[in-house]
Amino acid sequence: MKSICFFSSYFSGNQIPYYVKYYLEELAIHFTEVVLLTNKKDLADSEYDFLSKKNIQVRLYDNEGMDFGMWYKALSEFDKIGYERIGLINDSCVLFKSLNPFFDWANSSSLDYMGMIETGKISLHIQSYFLVINKRAIPFVRDYFKVNGIKNTYKGIILNYEIGLSEHILKNGLNLGGYFNYSKRKDVNPSFILADELIKNGSPIIKKKIISHKYFLGDYLTWFRNGFNVDYRYYIDLIKKSNTNEPIIDFDNVVKEIDVKASMAYVTWYQIGLVVFRVLRKSFLLRFLFHAGIQLRRRLSKNEK
Domains in the chain, CATH or no CATH each: 3-303 (3.90.550.10)
31-45, 186-200, 273-287: which has the minimum mean pLDDT?
273-287
Other C-beta atoms lying within 10 Å of the C-beta of residue 149:
11
- pTM (2 decimals)? 0.87
Q: What is the mean pLDDT of residues 4-26?
A: 95
* Per-residue buried b or exposed e for 249-283, using 16+ beta carbons within 10 Å of the residue's own CB: bebeebbebbebebeeeebeebeeebeebeeeeee
Tell me: pLDDT of 189 over 90: yes
Backbone phi, psi, residue 280, to 5°: -70, -30
Does 111 have pLDDT greater than 60? Answer: yes
* The length of the chain, given as a count of residues: 305
Q: Is the pLDDT of residue 32 over 60?
A: yes
- How many other β-carbons are positioned within 10 Å of the β-carbon of residue 145? 21
Give residue-wise pLDDT tens across range 225-251.
888 898 899 999 999 999 999 999 999
Q: Tell me, what's the pLDDT at 130?
A: 97
275-294: average pLDDT: 66
CA angle 239, 245, 246 (to 5 degrees): 65
181-200 mean pLDDT: 94
Residues 166 and 127: beta-carbon distance below 8 Å? no
Contact, 136 vs 112, CB < 8 A? yes
